[in-house]
């Protein structure tokens, strides 16, 4: 089965889209003590994306405020903001710059770079286009879902907590994104 180009998708609109943070979610999952998964999210996300007729020229720029981490535990959130993990006083944001979309089987991949704690690495996102739709306020919306996996140590998040010989936090972090964006009226 071949993957359609974006312009073959019903309702496709080329343009510049601003992220609607109140309808978007940037979250993660990490193993804790090998026995469970802890979930968290970042409440501060901003940026824009550009859809084009040519998948390879589509782009995304996202800025995530690391001070807005939310794992439903104030104590844990404060620890994650500190020197053991994100060092938010020195590195207050994490950024993602997507540089193009390519078909991969029956899905898409957004190629791009993640920058965290001053380290930039290539991190492709498996991408699902959820669709284009008019909204009740006279605008137009687009929605995407995306997933990726990173190793936190690749970004100098090197906390080595060990409890009874077991790592407190896994190196592998799963990233889950639900993104909604609004078409710029001047686009």
Q: Which residues contact 171 (CB under 8 A, 6 or more apart)?
A: 151, 152, 153
pLDDT at 25: 95
Environment class of 79 (CB within 10 Å of its CB; exposed 0-12, middle 13-18, buried 19+):
middle
pTM (2 d.p.)? 0.88
Q: Which residue has the tokens 């889950």?
A: 176
Q: Determine contact, residues 85/117, Cβ cutoff 8 Å.
A: no
C-alpha 127: how far from its chain's center?
Answer: 11
pLDDT at 163: 47
- The per-residue pLDDT for range 175-187, each reduced to its tens digit, is 999 999 999 987 5
Name beta bridge partners: 61.
48, 97
Stretch 85-113: mean pLDDT: 93
- The per-residue pLDDT for range 6-51, each reduced to its tens digit, is 556 778 899 999 999 999 999 999 877 667 788 999 999 999 999 9
Domain that holds residue 112: 6-183
3-class DSSP assignment, residue 155: helix
For the cut 50, the answer to whether the pLDDT of residue 121 exceeds it is yes
Round to whole Å and give the CA distance between 83 and 158. Answer: 10
CA Rg value for the chain:
18
160 or 168, higher pLDDT: 160
3-class DSSP assignment, residue 21: helix
Total structural domains within the chain: 1
Q: How confident is the model at residue 173 (pLDDT cuts 50, 70, 90)?
A: very high
- DSSP code string of 24-79: -EEEEEEEETTTEEEEEEES-EEEEEEE-SSGGG-EEEEEEEGGGEE-S-HHHHHH
pLDDT at 122: 97
Q: Kindly state whether residue 1 falls inside one of the protein's structural domains.
A: no
Q: Report CA-CA distances (Å) from 84 to 2, 37, 160.
A: 45, 19, 9
For the cut 50, the answer to whether the pLDDT of residue 164 exceeds it is no
| CATH value at residue 78 | 2.40.128.110
For the cut 50, the answer to whether the pLDDT of residue 1 exceeds it is no
For the cut 90, the answer to whether the pLDDT of residue 135 exceeds it is yes
């Amino acid at each position: 089965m071949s993957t359609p180009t974006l312009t073959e998708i019903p309702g496709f609109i080329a343009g510049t889209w601003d992220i609607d943070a109140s309808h978007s979610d940037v979250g993660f999952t990490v193993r804790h003590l090998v026995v469970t998964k802890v979930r968290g999210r970042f409440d501060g996300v901003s940026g824009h994306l550009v859809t084009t007729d040519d998948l390879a020229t589509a782009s995304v720029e996202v800025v995530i405020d690391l001070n807005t981490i939310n794992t439903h535990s104030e104590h844990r959130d404060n620890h994650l903001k500190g020197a053991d993990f994100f060092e938010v006083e020195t590195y207050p944001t994490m950024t993602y710059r997507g540089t193009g979309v390519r078909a991969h089987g029956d899905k898409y991949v957004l190629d791009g770079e993640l920058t965290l704690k001053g380290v930039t690495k290539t991190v492709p996102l498996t991408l699902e286009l959820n669709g284009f739709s008019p909204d009740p306020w006279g605008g137009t919306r687009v929605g995407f879902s995306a997933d990726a996996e990173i190793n936190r140590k690749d970004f100098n998040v090197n906390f080595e907590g060990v409890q009874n010989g077991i790592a407190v936090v896994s190196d592998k972090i799963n990233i889950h994104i639900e993104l909604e964006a609004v078409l710029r009226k001047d686009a």
